[in-house]
Amino acid sequence: MALHDKTAHELHDLLQAKKISAAELTADIFKRIDEAEDKIGAYLTLTRDKATADAKAVDDKIARGEKIFPLEGIPCAIKDNICTKGIRTTCASKILENFIPPYDATAYKKLAAQNVIVVGKANLDEFAMGGSTENSGFHVTRNPHNYDCVPGGSSGGSAAAVAGGEAIFSLGSDTGGSIRQPASFCGVVGFKPTYGRVSRYGLVAFASSLDQIGSFTHDVTDCALVLNAICGHDEMDSTSTAAQVPDFTKSLVADVKGLKIGLPAEYFVKGIDAEVETAVRNVAKKFESLGAEIVEISLPHTEYAISTYYLIAPAEAATNLERYDGVSYGARVDGADVVEMMTNTRTEKFGAEVKRRIMIGNYALSAGYYDAYYLKALKVRTLIQKDFIDAFKNVDLILTPTTPNAAFKLGEMTSDPLKMYLQDICTVPVNIAGLPGVSVPCGFNKSNLPLGFQLIGKALDEETILRAAYTYEVNGL
């Protein structure tokens, strides 16, 4: 097996035993990038020189006989909406094409403290608005399993980098499924922690009450290691939870005996691909055979989740994106006066999907429609949250499809935004409720495209999710 196909924990053992060097590993990743990047397009910026220097520093530490952190010397990718001091951070938007942040995002800073090797900034849908990474202002990203298909979005570059061997793990962000959906499409593990579990400081805001940083990894063990590194309270983020962070690797116990796992009827309705439904129901049977109890449950307000999300998220996005006006930073397109300059800048530098969501958001927040749309969406959000609270009185976890279908063809949905939005039907309720969720691979369809299942847990109960996901992983399909 090539180094770039190994897990972080396998590579850690090899590094600590001096069977490989961090320089050798980093060189292998860049060799793979040189081979595959023209076909995949996972990256917007590569940091070859810095990564090479950082790898040498790790090797020097090992040579001195010092122990290394679990992720030390491991090459990773960072989604390009996570600020990295001195490294270009574009959000895949022309308006930030040359923006270099003066500070680090907390999640990135925590990885840097473990001497992780960052090889580059990964492509995404512009400002994380999209589900296919076709909305990037620079180029599309392709699915490593089939170059004619999308990798999902908005964290498509982060998912494709791991699936394509161009990084060992990566960070993404998840506002309505932007980690879990591409993880399912690309056949990797994608974890969205509880809202507030990972600091959002330095994550360029899309929808502030929904955004959360998470990870893409080859397996569940690596997922626990990344969570250990990035979780924790941060005074720089007022929404950051003060809850104690456990050692998530202690959750990696292959035992689901006694766990109650709910199957919500609303996630197995018309519109879910038959192969996806069969695969997820087989996962339920596997859990049952391993000692879990499968319980049929209902989350009755699920049908309103997409409508609710596409009022709340664009409203918050419209507010957050007001700062990109050509005045303080970012691109500027000149005009006869300030108003014309701002208009020209936003017209020319924002892509179509970003403009669409800004307009939807401003409409929902406008004086005549605020009560009818935005306020009503907030009330429905409370009902969706209550559905989960009620369900978790009877079950420990909830099992669903991650996506209604496998990865679709490039260009297949670009002309139909509503159809694209419906791709998030299984994932947005989790963000609306602020809960943790993971997508785990569960085989392939007849077209040899990956399929994934989603496990949803109680707030701050990432440990039970990891336990069940790990149990499934080690017991095979």
Question: Residue 270: what pLDDT?
Answer: 84
The answer as to whether 106 is a domain residue is yes
In the numeric block, which tokens belong to residue 76? 């990773």
Residue 458 scores a pLDDT above 90: yes
Which pLDDT tens digit goes with each residue over 14-62? 999 999 999 999 999 999 999 999 999 999 999 999 999 999 999 999 9
Q: Which amino acid is at 401?
A: P
To the nearest whole number, what is the mean pLDDT of the chain? Answer: 97
Pairwise pLDDT comparison (220 vs 415), residue with the higher score? 220
Question: Residue 147: what pLDDT?
Answer: 98
The answer as to whether 294 is a domain residue is no
Average pLDDT for 331-338? 95
| Domains contained in the chain, number | 1
The answer as to whether 212 is a domain residue is yes
The answer as to whether 259 is a domain residue is no
Question: Residue 269: what pLDDT?
Answer: 84
Question: Residue 421: what pLDDT?
Answer: 86
Which pLDDT tens digit goes with each residue over 56-109? 999 999 999 999 999 999 999 999 999 999 999 999 999 999 999 999 999 999
The answer as to whether 474 is a domain residue is no
How far is 71 from 328, CA to CA, in rounded Å? 37
CATH classification of the domain holding 160: 3.90.1300.10
Residue 351 scores a pLDDT above 80: yes
Query: Which residues lie closer than 8 Å to 83 by C-beta, 6 or more apart?
Result: 89, 101, 103, 104, 105, 108, 202, 203, 204
Average pLDDT for 358-376? 94
How far is 157 from 151, CA to CA, in rounded Å? 8
Question: Residue 417: what pLDDT?
Answer: 84
How far is 436 from 465, CA to CA, in rounded Å? 8
Question: Residue 347: what pLDDT?
Answer: 95
The answer as to whether 368 is a domain residue is no
Pairwise pLDDT comparison (181 vs 417), residue with the higher score? 181
Catalytic residues: 79, 154, 178
Average pLDDT for 268-284? 94
The answer as to whether 164 is a domain residue is yes
Which pLDDT tens digit goes with each residue over 119-133? 999 999 999 999 999
What are the φ/ψ torsions at residue 89 (nearest 5 degrees)?
A: -130, 105
The answer as to whether 421 is a domain residue is no
Question: Residue 477: what pLDDT?
Answer: 66
| 114 within 8 A of 70, measured Cβ to Cβ | yes
Question: Residue 381: what pLDDT?
Answer: 98
pLDDT grade for 280, boundaries at 50, 70 and 90:
very high
- Cis before 154? omega within 30: yes
How far is 426 from 405, CA to CA, in rounded Å? 11
Task: Give the range of the structural domain holding residue 205, as residue numbers without chain letter.
Answer: 3-251
